[in-house]
Chains A and B, each alone.
Chain A
Amino acid sequence: MAPLMAPKLGRVSTQVELAVCIIAFAALLAAPLYLNNLSTLFFILMWVGLATSFNLFAGLTGYVNFGHVVFYGVGAYTAALAMAYQHMSPFIAVPLAGLASATLALGVSVPTVRLRGAYFAIATLSINQALFLIFDNWEAVGSAPGFTLPISYYQPVTEYYVMLTVAAATIAAFYAVSHSKLGVALKAIKQQEDTALSVGVNSTLYKVITLVLSGFFAGMVGGTAIWQITIIDPPSAFDITFTVNSIAMTMLGGVGTFAGPILGSVILYEVIDFLSINYPLFHLIVLGAVIVVVVLGIPDGIVGFLKRQIPHVRSAMQKSKTK
């Protein structure tokens, strides 16, 4: 499979990416030793997980899931209910959250995955609204006021490590999918779905598998996030800005790339956090502007922009050598 995927620069840049990942992971692993407040890192990792799980489906298939937050929300609700009412260990509640969202993704895929282009986006957006309304009126899960987790679950360092694990697993899953036969199928579907079908690619199956994976990881992110946030209600669990943030972060970094959503979340998290605290709602204008500027200026994001510079840098280096 490897020779099919690897472009000419692939080997070098993959090694660099891997080295950067290992160093970053080691630094994050040691963070509790040198940081008193892990909350910022926790939420950066949450966005890395959300944006990467968004990218897993949207970036690889080319279909924009405007309802990505429902996987986060249902995961968060599942874990919160399991912990608050069933007194379940978070170590069971978080994987359970992933499974709940994966099941939801499977359900969502039945009516939506055959839709093309904008129809898919609109259908997923309406699923977001539908789930918000269901949870807002569902007495058994606390309806509109929501509920809170008992204080006994407060374990900031453990929460941090679980989020780190979930984010790393999401990144690993993205890498594995994009370097597998499934990844080849998705690449073909993204570029020309009718042709993919005509050469034997079962596009529906591959899209369903990918949406389920995307849902599974976003659900675990939600389950872990709510453990730290402790308060859950429908407006925060099904907040469309979560989807918008994921889109903006992924696009800024580079849609469909491995490093894109990671870079995008690290960069945008601070900006969004600062703006939404100091200028509430103004951050949405900034996000909109980011999306517009990225689409017009660097449609392949920071990663794509950098990759395009590599040949220029190489030729410049060769020129200086010959001189």
Chain B
Amino acid sequence: MRENLEKNALLEIEGLTKRFSGLVALSDVNLQVFKGEMLGLIGPNGSGKTTLFNVISGSLHPNGGRITFNGHNITGLPSYKVCKLGVARTFQIPQPFPDMPVIENIRVARLFGRSKNARSDLDDPENVCKLVGLDAKRDVVARSLTVSDKKRLEVGRALATSPTLLLFDEFAAGLTAQESKWATEFVKTLRDSYGITIIWTEHVMRVIMSTVDRVAVLDHGVKIAEGTPQEIVKSEHVLAVYFGRNKS
């Protein structure tokens, strides 16, 4: 299965480096994400997960390295272009258009997102609204939604741009156990039924370990491990980073 996937790297990150003046937020990161897989990206707070997302999605310019998405060199491209090529993201702290109703938030994404879509059910904002479970709140102004509904809207908005790669930034953070169960199931559906490739960051390992196909671990901007969830939980280096154990 692995070999089969490797032929279809959707996203290829090579030697990616991002510095904030003196601080190295990402250091020579190499990472491949394969078509149709769900990659978990974990690491302690401040390890560079969000920075990596910001660089992939074009909010930040890298200082070095190269990002190839679906055959396009997207290194340093502005966000709106990266989106139109098929990369969508959710924000860690939900950032809806606060004074627009739910449905209008989704419509804006549909209107400006990637134009071509083979799956007509994501082309229809009403369907996207239903899919994320917000059809009862379609006319509610985004600013007055609860945290978990705002998270649903984050995905809805991202889906409406018709992505082939979806970046989830701490999607389960701040959700109750039941809500985070919904989130996990929902992300699985996106991969299995819609064939969307997913990178999911979370600093709580438990939430995604049971769901993702592979895991990459960041620490201080360095990728310290990569493998199946089973391999990662056994890795001495990862345990050292998370629990402060000395390397033996």
Residues from 69 to 100 in B contacting A, C-beta threshold 8 Å: 78-80, 83-84, 88-89, 91, 95-100
Chain A residues with CB below 8 A from B89, complex form: 198
Tell me the number of A-to-B contacts counted with CB atoms below 8 Å: 76
Task: Say which residue of B91, B97, B109 sits within 8 Å of A191 (CB atoms).
Answer: B97
**Do most interface residues of chain A lie in helix, strand or loop, or is the interface mixed?**
helix
Check if A202 sits within 8 Å of B157, measured CB to CB: no
Check if A194 sits within 8 Å of B95, measured CB to CB: yes
Q: Would you call A201 an interface residue if the criterion is a C-beta within 8 Å of the partner chain's C-beta atoms?
A: yes
Check if A192 sits within 8 Å of B112, measured CB to CB: no
Check if A192 sits within 8 Å of B97, measured CB to CB: yes
How many angstroms between the C-alpha atoms of A184 and B105 in the bound complex? 10
Task: Say which residue of A192, A196, A198, A203 sits within 8 Å of B57 (CB atoms).
Answer: A198
Q: Would you call A297 an interface residue if the criterion is a C-beta within 8 Å of the partner chain's C-beta atoms?
A: no
Chain B residues with CB below 8 A from A313, complex form: none
How many angstroms between the C-alpha atoms of A146 and B96 in the bound complex? 51
- Chain B residues touching A, range: 20 to 34
Q: Would you call A117 an interface residue if the criterion is a C-beta within 8 Å of the partner chain's C-beta atoms?
A: no
Residues from 101 to 131 in B contacting A, C-beta threshold 8 Å: 104, 107-109, 111-114
Task: Say which residue of A181, A187, A202 sits within 8 Å of B80 (CB atoms).
Answer: A202
Chain A interface residue count, CB cutoff 8 Å, equals 19
Check if A4 sits within 8 Å of B104, measured CB to CB: yes
Q: Would you call B161 an interface residue if the criterion is a C-beta within 8 Å of the partner chain's C-beta atoms?
A: yes
Q: Would you call A23 an interface residue if the criterion is a C-beta within 8 Å of the partner chain's C-beta atoms?
A: no
For A188-202 the 0/1 string (1 means CB < 8 A from B) is 100110111111111
Check if B100 sits within 8 Å of A191, measured CB to CB: yes
Closest to B167 in A: A198
- Please provide the 8 A-B residue pairs with the shortest distance between their CB atoms, ordered closest to farther: A200-B112, A197-B79, A199-B109, A200-B83, A191-B97, A195-B95, A200-B113, A202-B80
A-B contact pairs, 11 of them (CB 8 A): A187-B97, A188-B97, A188-B112, A192-B97, A194-B79, A195-B96, A197-B79, A199-B158, A200-B113, A201-B80, A203-B80
